Structure 1
Amino acid sequence: MLPAPTVESLTTCDATETEPVRIGILAPLTGPTAADASDYSRAAGIAAEELNAAGGVCGKGKRYKFELVEADATSMRNDAVVTAFRRLNDTENLNVILSPYASTSNFEIDLMARENMPYLISGGAESTKAIIQKNPSAYPTVWSRVPDYGGYFTDLPPLLNQYLESGKLSLPAKTVYIIGSDDPYGSTIANGLAKVFRETGWDVVGEDTVPFQSVTDWRTQLAKIREVDPAVIVNTEWSASGSATFFNQFFEQPTKSLVFLQYAPSIPEFQTVTRNQAAGVMYSMLGGAIDSREDTKTISAKFAEKFGPGGYFSVAGYNAVQLYALCLSQGNDPTDRLAVGTCIGKLDVDTPSGRLAFDAETHLARQGNDYMPTLFYQLQSDGKPAIVAPEAVSQAPFATSPWMK
């Protein structure tokens, strides 16, 4: 495993000639997920500025200075994604595209492969896997910085069982109510959790599916929840506005339930809309930055100083630029798309999210405590999240939510 790249390691050389290189950012920069995705582009901008200020990334006999070119996927509609991709692909000196996510299905992967465009994506791993595993060799330039979603559903039920056995968590029964959203991310996690909860001794007392980004009134689902009074509530509709509205309406008449909301609480918008009342809410992330690491703290502080508190992508976007720079520093010509894409796929490197290496059959980052662990967070009394598991990287102990007491 290579050490985590730094500005110093990427820019220390004797070369003086510089060459401009453009980096495409494909993301929904307007629309319901804009607050989340914009963090990625802003963080990537910080990384590029730092590398440029240090003279540029060292390459084969020259240095490369970066310019970011954004393309808006708006509400992740297919036509908008295609238009944005074509714009980037036709931009002079642009031979790599970085993305938090661009569509709900990741169909754009096929566009990237057709053009041999290096594409490093940080969302929609299940969709990436479904496309690539049919013929991995057809996608030599497409790689997912996040792991298989399996950890999202295999790791939560055992963790709760562990908390119950150790006395950290007290519940009247092992019952769970699961709400999933109808996009690939939300539905995959909800269905997987229902299966694993049952396999590990839990009773799933309710299952609902809602349209992604569309629910503004959760009282129908909450009426069902209050009727069965589950010990645990899971909601995988991961938009910040939808998830925050769910919590606020739950909090009007809360059941004594542990609340687990997939991903959304990591977005500062969620914390603002819930007015710091969601202390105790849990969520998990795969490929998320390990906040207890010193490099994560440094990157997060830089982002906060310039833009205010950031979410998941405030570190992921920064690191994505560093990973691309690392491949250029190894002597790859930025115009040789296939060589750069191949380099990314062969990386084995330390990152703020843990050890990054890719699975050859799915092109996803490898998952697990020796690679990228499933990180479990709990919102604290100040509204900010803290890692509570795995214990080796935890920042705070697990605590019972106030409404459960």
Structure 2
Amino acid sequence: MKNQRPALNRRSLGLSFIAAAALASAAGAWAQAKPIVIGLPIAQSGPAGVADHADYLNGAKLAAKEINAAGGVNGRKIELKVFDIDIMTPEGTQATFRKMVDAKVHAIASPFVLIPTPAMEAVARYKAPYLHGNTQEASLDLVKANPSKFSHIFQIDPPETFYGAGFPAFLEQLQASGAWKPINNKVHIIREQIAYTQTISKATEAALKSSKFELAKVTDIQFPVQDWGPVLQDIRKTGAGVVMVNHWVAAELAAFAKQFAANPLPGALVYLQYGPSQPEFLNLAGKAAEGFVWGTVYGAYADKQGQAFRDAYRKEYLASGGVMGLVYTGGGYDTVKILAQNWKTADPEKFDEVNAGLRKLSYRGVNGFYSFNNPQQAPKHYPLEVKNIEQGMAHLFVQVQNGQHQIISPNVLKEATFKPAPWMAK
């Protein structure tokens, strides 16, 4: 008996078309509901960077939570996918970035890597947007020199050179305010040996040449610092009115602060470059932290918007107490918010469209004003590159007062006036 094909009438054909359309509609809805995935290379262990990376992840998670609670981006949720990374080696850095490419993430959001080139090369052909807080001129130079190859790479903060360029200007402003009278105008730089701190030191030395202050000496240190004793002896012997400890690891700066406070150089203003922004500094230094000054070219403001973020962050992560990091918490939060805003009008699957949108985007975050519409694809420094604070990232100078971090400069953002440290003459 021959097989017979069932007869198809108009009714059965109509039902078939309806069923097919329903399946297509369901498939489209499913595709639309797929999450937008952001890859985060976050150091889980290692001798340095873990605290900043944890801060960044917390900020990113808070932003994603707020976005998803409001319905996501055009109905799609933000999903954060964390990849462990060894930021101390080029091999470890590149391996993690290749994993994110293999995972086909829609964007990469990174607090920083210590060696930027391997990370950038690993994603050179994968054109998903890569937003990072490397704070390095080297990253910006690569983008500017290779605009086609690295068109999808954006730095979320000004480079480290402004730590050096902005420091003498801060000293002059502080002196002019009358809140501080230096014992002399000499600056003693304690310099760590990685490229990041070397660049800062060179920029400081260059800026001092055209300021009221002068370089007294440069003392080199090597990470990890096992003993601050010889450095402290050198500081007291040199006797400079300003001591700039150009090092970024919070735990080691806390050890320095405790030893210095126990046997200080009377009258000296002591500036600890960046590291005190990490929670470990106050936790480890305790009362010895009082009076030290530190700075960052990228940090959470304490204005109305910044304070709202700080309050939300503390409620989410520090409800039972603790110290909040003041730099990469806001960086992670702002980066996810920036991507989400851009994805409202740019298809996350179309990287060229997304990157073009980021280059045109202007965004005021908790860490300042973001614009990538320049050859380096990075925000501008306030006040050295832009004179309007709402057009750039403010260089924040902070002092530990009564166990708390207080912004003392710039004036438009300051929470408190500089107070003489315990080792300064009354």
Alignment check: 8 A CA contact 2:60 2:336 kept: yes
Shift, 1:134, TM fit:
1.8
TM-score normalised according to structure 1 size: 0.89
> Structure 1 pair 210/131, CA: closer, same or farther in 2 (3 Å)?
farther
Aligned counterpart, 2:97: 85
TM-score normalised according to structure 2 size: 0.85
Shift, 1:264, TM fit:
0.6
Aligned counterpart, 2:34: 19
In the alignment, which of 133, 136, 140 is matched to residue 125 of structure 1?
A: 136
Q: Distance in 2 between matches of 1:136 and 1:88?
A: 22
Alignment check: 8 A CA contact 2:309 2:366 kept: no
Counterpart mapping for 1:130-209 below 5 A: 130-209=141-220
Shift, 1:201, TM fit:
2.9
Secondary structure of the structure 1 residue equivalent to 2:157: strand
Shift, 1:276, TM fit:
3.1
**What is the identity, as a one-letter code, of the residue corresponding to 2:61?**
G
**What is the identity, as a one-letter code, of the residue corresponding to 1:399?**
K
Give aligned pairs, total.
382
Secondary structure of the structure 1 residue equivalent to 2:217: strand
Q: Distance in 2 between matches of 1:367 and 1:124?
A: 11
Alignment deviations for residues 126-156 of structure 1 (CA, whole Å, 9 cap, x no partner): 2212322222232111000101334322222
Secondary structure of the structure 2 residue equivalent to 1:233: strand
> Structure 1 pair 216/25, CA: closer, same or farther in 2 (3 Å)?
same
Aligned counterpart, 1:10: none
Aligned counterpart, 1:115: 126
Question: What is the Cα-based RMSD across aligned positions, in Å?
Answer: 1.9
Is 1:70 the counterpart of 2:104? The answer is no
> Structure 1 pair 385/104, CA: closer, same or farther in 2 (3 Å)?
farther
Alignment check: 8 A CA contact 2:257 2:288 kept: no
Q: Distance in 1 between matches of 2:146 and 2:204?
A: 28
Secondary structure of the structure 1 residue equivalent to 2:408: strand
Q: Distance in 2 between matches of 1:276 and 1:84?
A: 39
Q: Distance in 2 between matches of 1:354 and 1:279?
A: 27
Q: Distance in 1 between matches of 2:307 and 2:110?
A: 22
Q: Distance in 1 between matches of 2:361 and 2:136?
A: 18
- Structure 1's unaligned 5+ residue stretches are 1-14
> Structure 1 pair 276/154, CA: closer, same or farther in 2 (3 Å)?
same
Which is bigger in relative contact order (C-alpha 8 A, separation at least 6)?
1
**What is the identity, as a one-letter code, of the residue corresponding to 1:239?**
V
Aligned counterpart, 2:229: 219
Alignment check: 8 A CA contact 1:180 1:208 kept: yes
Aligned counterpart, 1:361: 375
Q: Distance in 1 between matches of 2:247 and 2:196?
A: 9
Alignment deviations for residues 7-59 of structure 1 (CA, whole Å, 9 cap, x no partner): xxxxxxxx99633111100132321221221111121111112211222112x
**What is the identity, as a one-letter code, of the residue corresponding to 1:153?**
G
Q: Distance in 2 between matches of 1:388 and 1:183?
A: 28
> Structure 1 pair 102/155, CA: closer, same or farther in 2 (3 Å)?
closer
Q: Distance in 2 between matches of 1:101 and 1:128?
A: 11
Bigger shift: residues 74-83 or 182-191: 74-83
Alignment check: 8 A CA contact 2:192 2:198 kept: yes
Quick check: which has more Rg, 1 or 2? Answer: 2
Bigger shift: residues 216-225 or 15-24: 15-24
Alignment check: 8 A CA contact 2:297 2:393 kept: yes
Alignment check: 8 A CA contact 2:158 2:379 kept: yes
> Structure 1 pair 67/166, CA: closer, same or farther in 2 (3 Å)?
closer
Q: Distance in 1 between matches of 2:288 and 2:142?
A: 40
Is 1:268 the counterpart of 2:279? The answer is yes
Alignment deviations for residues 174-214 of structure 1 (CA, whole Å, 9 cap, x no partner): 01110122222211111111221232132322102223x41
Aligned counterpart, 1:294: 304
**What is the identity, as a one-letter code, of the residue corresponding to 1:351?**
G
**What is the identity, as a one-letter code, of the residue corresponding to 1:357?**
S
- Structure 2's unaligned 5+ residue stretches are 1-28
Q: Distance in 2 between matches of 1:50 and 1:162?
A: 39
Shift, 1:341, TM fit:
2.1
Secondary structure of the structure 2 residue equivalent to 1:67: strand
Runs of 4+ in 1 over 6 A off after TM superposition: none
In the alignment, which of 227, 243, 252 is matched to residue 233 of structure 1?
A: 243
